[in-house]
Amino acid sequence: MILVLGGTAEARELAGALHEARVAVTSSLAGRVSNPRLPAGSVRVGGFGGPDALARWLADRDVAAVVDATHPFAQRISASAAQACTSAGVPLLRLQRPGWSEQPGDRWHWVADLDAAARAVPALGERVLLTTGRQGLSAFAAVRDTWFLVRCVQQPDEPLPPRHRLLLSRGPFTLAGELALIDEHRIEALVCKDSGGPHTDAKLAAARERALPVVIVRRPPRPAVASVASVAEALAWARAHARDGEVHARDAHAG
Ligand code: NAP
């Protein structure tokens, strides 16, 4: 069985492609979102209990290989996967979408983390669209003079800045939609993570079109493991590592 550590669109695509290719696949989700979009194949939900427990999980289920397709900012699970795969002797591949890069007209301010983003905001605008996700929002709780439109998938459980409006939405986001949002709320600056990929980049095009500054949080460091940037490459790798004879249930029944 191939284990896909998920929580991203790419992880879902990969699980779907493996399932389609008749490779037995289990996707693992952290369980943060109450109604996640589920991938094809088997799904398990919740933390493993750290790297040692993950190593045991891999050994107990005779996992052939692991693809870490978690979000570029999900640091702990990637570190855990690297450690667990080394100790269990299971091949590991990191599937990570490339980060975003500036284009002509962009006014980006790169910062190291959310605290630095919160410090950068007051100088850039009084009305800010904040799209860094529900985790880590407390970094902005002490920013008193800025009004934030806080957009995230699910209700945050951290303290929010005193002046804000919460917008729960998981997209998909379009350029027209992002421009309308910016105009409706008279947004003057944007804060986001360098998540990369095409699923959430419309806000960057909208900021470019309105000449708004963007505070963009750099990706955290990752363990040094073999990496690919596309689902197609990860699919080829996983297929090559899948054990012969391991097919998913539908095909097993089909003979
Ligand atoms: P994290 O800080 O790296 O992980 C915290 C703990 O949650 C891990 O130690 C692990 O628990 C558990 N965990 C995380 N991902 C898991 C997975 N795919 N399967 C099983 N357990 C998992 O991660 P995070 O930043 O909280 O993100 C959680 C999930 O949301 C990730 O799967 C990620 O792909 C997705 N996501 C994150 C972001 C973001 O900005 N961080 C954005 C979009 C989606 P144990 O130590 O107990 O195993």
Confidence of residue 253 (pLDDT cuts 50, 70, 90): very low
Q: Which residues contact 95 (CB under 8 A, 6 or more apart)?
A: 10, 11, 14, 67, 68, 69, 227, 228, 229, 230, 231, 233, 234
**What does the chain come to in residues?**
255
Q: Render pLDDT for 116-172 as a digit per residue (tens, 0 to 9).
A: 999 999 999 999 999 999 999 999 999 999 999 999 999 999 999 999 999 999 888
**Is residue 19 within a helix (H) or strand (E), and if so which, with residue range?**
helix 9-20
Average pLDDT on 192-206 reads 96
Residue with structure tokens 């027209």? Answer: 176
Q: Which residues share a beta bridge with 27? A: 4, 43
Q: What is the pLDDT of residue 34?
A: 82
Q: Render pLDDT for 41-60 as a digit per residue (tens, 0 to 9).
A: 999 999 999 999 999 999 99
Query: Does 83 sit in the ligand 1 pocket, CB within 6 Å?
Result: no
Q: DSSP states of 153-165 as a string?
A: SS---S---SSEE
Extract the runs of DSSP E, i.e. beta strands, from 65-132: 65-68, 92-95, 107-111, 127-130
Extract the runs of DSSP E, i.e. beta strands, from the chain: 2-5, 25-29, 42-45, 65-68, 92-95, 107-111, 127-130, 147-152, 164-168, 189-193, 213-217, 227-228
Cα 167 to ligand 1 centre (Å): 22
Cα 68 to ligand 1 centre (Å): 11
| 224 has a pLDDT exceeding 80 | yes
Query: Does 82 sit in the ligand 1 pocket, CB within 6 Å?
Result: no
Query: Does 140 sit in the ligand 1 pocket, CB within 6 Å?
Result: no
| 15 has a pLDDT exceeding 70 | yes
Query: Closest residue (by CA) to atom 24 of ligand 1?
Result: 74
Q: What is the distance between the alpha carbons of residues 162 and 218, in angstroms, rounded to a whole number?
A: 26
The pTM score is 0.92
Q: Which two tokens stand for residue 145?
A: 């003079």
Residue with structure tokens 């269990």? Answer: 88
| 179 has a pLDDT exceeding 50 | yes
